[in-house]
Structures are given as C-alpha cells and as structure tokens.
Structure 1
Amino acid sequence: MSSLSNNSFTQPSEFHLMCLPGARSHQLGLSVVLALLLIMALGANALLLLTIQLVESLHQPMYYLISLLSLLDLVLCLTVIPKVLAIFWLGWWSISFAGCFLQMLTLNTFLAMESSTFLVMAYDRYVAICHPLRYSSIVTDCFVAKAAVFIVARNFLLLTPVPILSAQLNYCGNTTIRNCLCGNLSVSQLSCGNITLNKLYQFVVAWTLLGSDLVLIILSYTFILHAVLRLKAEGTATKALSTCGSHLILILFFSTILLVLVLTNVLKERVHADIPILLNVLHYIIPAALNPIVYGVRTKEIKEGIHSVLRKVRG
C-alpha cells in the first residue's frame, strides 16, 4: 500500500480479478477452448502477416490495412487471454495497480482503433467499386500511412483520459474486480468517490467514436450495394460482392457482439452475471482467430500467397 498525496486515502498496490466465479466447475474446459483459440489466433495472424510481407503482389493498400487489423487483433488477444489463462491455471488473480490501468488503456484504444480500421477498409472498398478509375490515385500507400496515423492519434488522444480518470479515483475498500479484465466501469465502481464523470466521459467518447464509425461504414456499404446492383456485366456484381463479403462479415460480427454485450449489461438482472464477463473475454479472442481465416478463405490473392509461402517453407 502506498500513500496517496494530498489526502488521507491510500491506493491499493493491486486489484484482484474475480474471473467467472460462477463457472468454477467449467473453468478447465473453458480454459482449453481459450488456449486453442489463442494458438489459432497467433498462428493464423502470424501466417497472414508473413504472407503479406513476403509476397510482393500483396504489397498494396488493401492488404496493408488487413495487416494493421491483424496487428490490432494480436495486441488485444494477448492483452486479455494470457492473463485469463493464468487465473484459471495458476490462480494468479492479482494484477498490479499500474498494470490494471495499462490494460484498460490498451483495451480501450486498440478496440477503437479496430473499429476505425474497419471504417478505412470500408472506404477502400467504396472507392474500388464506386470509383474504380480513380482508385489507384486515391487509395495509395501514402493514404494508408496517413490513415494509420489518424487511427492511432484519434483514439489515443480521446480514450487515454478514460484510464487516467479511473486511476485518480480513491480506492479505499474493496479491490475485487468482478471481471476477467480491467474494464473502466468494473474498476471505477470500486471507488468510494463520485464516478459520474468517468461514466459520462466513457459513454460519450466511446460511443461517439464507435457509433460514428459504424454509421459511416453502413453508409459506405449502402453506396457499394447501390453501385453493384447497377452493374450489368455478367459476373461483375457477384465478384464485387465477393470482394466486400469478407470485410462485411467481420464488421457485422464486430458490431453484433458489441451490441449483445451492451444488451446483456443493460438486462443484467435477467442474465446470469457470468455471461457478460464471458462475452467480454470472447470478444477479444474470437475476432482475432476468425479474421485471418475469413480473409484467407474469401480473398483469392491471400489464399494463393499463403500457398506460395507454405510451399517455400516446405521446400
């Protein structure tokens, strides 16, 4: 315990994560599933990144965006899943005060960055299908670099205050977090101070960011669908929809699981307390495991690139 300057309160040196207390009998089975998903996510994303790096034909803006998405997925799943497995297998329930807020910062910012990346990918597909003749002059390597800087800067600047506000609260009693990770509200509600500002800031900023991204993504795909339906050349519409299909599947999954998570928290009196916690954990591992697989299966160029890399490794 270390003294907090300028007042009589003391801040805890660590918190304790109460991870799925109602599922003790199922923790071994759940931990095996999480471990397998983690191995799948690490292997698939590493292979995808290696393929895009080694195959020269994939050195294009769209594939750079896919690489960025893979990197974000890796950071998110590595921030959550190893700690959850350490809790289940080794009983390491504690997390340091600084480590908790560092995890909170990483989860908040990188999740928002993933949403922003989906938005830039939707814009990429919009330009490719609605303005194909101008695509190479609009979506360039420079555009991707600027988009990446924008994604990082916007989300870090707007979401960094979330853990800072929570860290400055006074934690004078209970240090047991009813979650598998350091979510802002899960932690701040342990404070004996007023958390209205924390709740309001997270609600306004997080949902402004995610909400605006989702609205713009839907708008982009509405324009894409309108343009595709006007294509009369045989097979052109099917090819265009197939190109966008993988992106749209992942975006819908990303948005749907967030909506389910919100609804389960709103209806928490009617839902078992462990369900929102479990959904929160799965939200950081399932997309990381599925994204590279969906791209590998649905994107011909990536599939061929993966085959080429694997042949080189075997040879």
Structure 2
Amino acid sequence: MSTVNISYVRPKEFILIGFPGMENYQIWISIPFCAMYVLALVANVLIIFLVKVNHNLHNPMYVLLAALSLVDLAMCSLALPKILQMFWFNDRTIAFEACFIQMFCVHFFSALESSILAIMAYDRYVALYNPLRYMSILSYRFLAQVFICLLLRDLILMGLVPVFASRLPFCSSNVIQHCYCDHMGVAKLACTDISMNSALGLFAISSIFGLDVIFIIFSYVLIMRTVVKIGSKDAFRKAVNTCSSHLFVILYFYTTLLFSLLVYRTGMKVQPQIHVMFAILYLLVPPVLNPLIYAIRTKEIRHALLKIILNKKIIPVNSQQRVKICI
C-alpha cells in the first residue's frame, strides 16, 4: 500500500477571513479603522518631522520619541493596507511567502516597540534621578549600543518564528480565521504537531516582552520612589498625572498581547470576532495614542509645532527645563 509523504506541503496562498460571520458588515467596520490609520500616519509623521527639523529637540528623549513613531508607522502600515483591501474589495487571498513576511514584520516591529518603551522608561528615570548628568549618561553612543543589542535580540527571536512556521505541512486547510497572518493563527492550520512552534513562540515572547515588562515596572517603581524622596507634593502630583497616561498606553499594549496569547494557548472561550477586534486594535491604538501621550503633551513639541504653524520664532525653553519626568 503506497503512502503519501506529507512532510512538507506548501499551499500557493492563504485565505484571510477577517471577522468570521460578519463578512457583510466588514465594509462598515473598516471606516473607523481607516480613520484611525490615517490619524496614526499624520500624527507620527508629524512627530518625526518636528524632531528632525528642530535642533532644540535633538536630545535622547525626543530621538526616542521619533524612533517610537517610526516603529508605530511600520507596525500598522504592514498590516492595515491589506486589511482594508480585504474589507473594501473582498480580496482575501495572500501569497504563501507574503503571509510569512507579514508575520515576521508585525511581530518584529511589535517587539521593537516594546524595546523602545523599555528604553524610554529608563530615560525618564535618569531624567528625574540625575538630571544634571542626563546627557552624559544617556549619550547617543550608549543609546545606539543598547538599541543595537535589543534590535538583534528582536530580529533573531522573531525571525525564527516565521521560519519554523513556514516549514509546517499545511495539508488540510489554508483558511486563516484572522485579518492578518498571526503566528499561532497560521500554525494551527498545520496537519502535524506544533508543540515546538508553540514553545518557540512562547520563548520569544517571554524573552522579549516579559523581560521588557519587568524592566519597565522596575523603572517606574524607581521613578515613584525618587519622587517620594523629593518630598514635593507638586512633583508627586505631576509625576502621577503624567506617568499614569504613559502607563495606560503601556498596559494597553501588553494587555492586548497577553489576551491574544491566552486565547491561543489556553483555549479560552472567546468569540472569534472579539479576538480579531483586539488583534487589530493592538496594531492601531498604540500608533494613535503614542503621539498624543508621549509627544503632543510635551511642551517642547508644542512649541516646535506652533513655530511651524504660526511661522514665527518662539522663545525656546531653557535647557535646564527640557528634561522633565514623564513629559
């Protein structure tokens, strides 16, 4: 009796469902997604432009803001155009290679955003704990070294995930119950044991997001302890008010990631529409909120923006006032 070797089955394309059971309403659902995407594009491009053209913003704090905006642009732009194309033109197919390229890009830039958030948490701690030595501690050379190390970590770990997933045999179905090529959403289509892929994904998430979360929490604990030591009620109130908004964005970013992780790995009984909605908002909400929370509320960014809009010289803020906790 002949046997069929299914050690490697590679379909030409995958089919994205989007919101299962809501195909007739997806064109209406796409309207707020499109509006948020346009807002994210405009806001993040504006932040990058302001930091680039304004010499008063050439310090580590604003360079990190520009880097965060650049990563936000990449993270949402690598998935949202295809999602909108699917909703508007009912084009649900995605090539095999394109699917795994999208998988890598989405997960890689998500990891890179987490890395930048961790660096920014340390930046705010240094700004409060030792403001006089801020520029010497957070030198461009030091930031470049840290960023390159984290970049290589994210690149290697997130690069292995789609490589191993692309070697799975997809011999039963090529229909993805999602809006984009998420790792576990694709891996679950394989007709073989995916425990190694699941373990690899969990290891990558723990090594990147887990360590970053621990570092961010530790940094903010040090920030609050330093504010308490200062003993100023105004400083404490200002730190709480401003850092709370930052922490909201951070909590949203990691909570949606944890939600998706638990749904896939614990078999939580969650409606697929809710899962897909959280997955899209995970890509869209941070790029929209980050410019508002981290940049627009910053006095120097507002001065630079007004200077361009009003086309007149605005007196720059004193250099000793530029570095402020969580602003």
Q: TM-score when scaled to structure 1? A: 0.91
Deviates more, 1:263-272 or 1:111-120: 263-272
2:99 is equivalent to residue 100 of structure 1: yes
In structure 2, relative to structure 1, the CA distance for the partners of 1:282 and 1:110 (3 Å cut) is same
- The one-letter code of the counterpart of 2:140 is D
Asked whether the 8 Å contact 1:64–1:144 carries over to 2, the reply is: no
2:197 is equivalent to residue 198 of structure 1: yes
Distance in 2 between residues matched to 1:77 and 1:163, nearest whole Å: 19
In structure 2, relative to structure 1, the CA distance for the partners of 1:23 and 1:271 (3 Å cut) is same
Partner of 1:311: 310
> Partner of 1:230: helix, strand, or coil?
helix
Partner of 1:150: 149
How much does 1:234 deviate? 6.3
How much does 1:262 deviate? 3.7
> Partner of 2:178: helix, strand, or coil?
coil
Query: Which consecutive unaligned segments of at least 5 residues does structure 2 have?
Result: 313-327
In structure 2, relative to structure 1, the CA distance for the partners of 1:12 and 1:140 (3 Å cut) is same
Distance in 2 between residues matched to 1:303 and 1:129, nearest whole Å: 21
Partner of 2:213: 214
Partner of 2:118: 119
2:188 is equivalent to residue 189 of structure 1: yes
Asked whether the 8 Å contact 1:265–1:276 carries over to 2, the reply is: no
> Partner of 2:14: helix, strand, or coil?
strand
- The one-letter code of the counterpart of 1:254 is F
Query: Which consecutive unaligned segments of at least 5 residues does structure 1 have?
Result: 1-5
How much does 1:245 deviate? 4.7
- Kindly report structure 1 stretches of 4+ aligned residues shifted beyond 6 Å: none
Asked whether the 8 Å contact 2:65–2:295 carries over to 1, the reply is: no
> Partner of 1:95: helix, strand, or coil?
strand
Identity, in percent, stands at 35
How much does 1:79 deviate? 1.0
How much does 1:167 deviate? 0.6
Asked whether the 8 Å contact 2:121–2:219 carries over to 1, the reply is: yes
Partner of 1:159: 158
> Partner of 1:16: helix, strand, or coil?
strand
How much does 1:152 deviate? 1.5
In structure 2, relative to structure 1, the CA distance for the partners of 1:247 and 1:199 (3 Å cut) is same
Superimposed CA distance per residue, residues 228-249 of structure 1 (whole angstroms, 9 cap, x where no aligned partner)? 0121356333444556455333
Q: How does 1:129-148 map to 2 (within 5 A)?
A: 129-148=128-147
Asked whether the 8 Å contact 1:42–1:74 carries over to 2, the reply is: yes
Distance in 2 between residues matched to 1:168 and 1:145, nearest whole Å: 35
- The one-letter code of the counterpart of 1:202 is G
Superimposed CA distance per residue, residues 142-167 of structure 1 (whole angstroms, 9 cap, x where no aligned partner)? 22222321221110012211000011
How much does 1:80 deviate? 1.1
In structure 2, relative to structure 1, the CA distance for the partners of 1:280 and 1:7 (3 Å cut) is closer
Distance in 2 between residues matched to 1:150 and 1:61, nearest whole Å: 17
Distance in 2 between residues matched to 1:225 and 1:265, nearest whole Å: 36
> Partner of 1:160: helix, strand, or coil?
helix
> Partner of 1:170: helix, strand, or coil?
coil
In structure 2, relative to structure 1, the CA distance for the partners of 1:239 and 1:8 (3 Å cut) is closer
Partner of 2:320: none
Superimposed CA distance per residue, residues 221-280 of structure 1 (whole angstroms, 9 cap, x where no aligned partner)? 001101101213563334445564553332122123223334555676532111111110
Q: How does 1:1-315 map to 2 (within 5 A)?
A: 9-233=8-232, 235-241=234-240, 244-265=243-264, 270-312=269-311
Q: TM-score when scaled to structure 2? A: 0.88
Asked whether the 8 Å contact 2:184–2:264 carries over to 1, the reply is: no
> Partner of 2:191: helix, strand, or coil?
coil
Distance in 2 between residues matched to 1:117 and 1:78, nearest whole Å: 18
How much does 1:197 deviate? 0.6
How much does 1:306 deviate? 1.5
Distance in 1 between residues matched to 2:153 and 2:101, nearest whole Å: 18
Partner of 2:323: none
Superimposed CA distance per residue, residues 152-186 of structure 1 (whole angstroms, 9 cap, x where no aligned partner)? 11100122110000111111231111111111111
How much does 1:107 deviate? 1.2
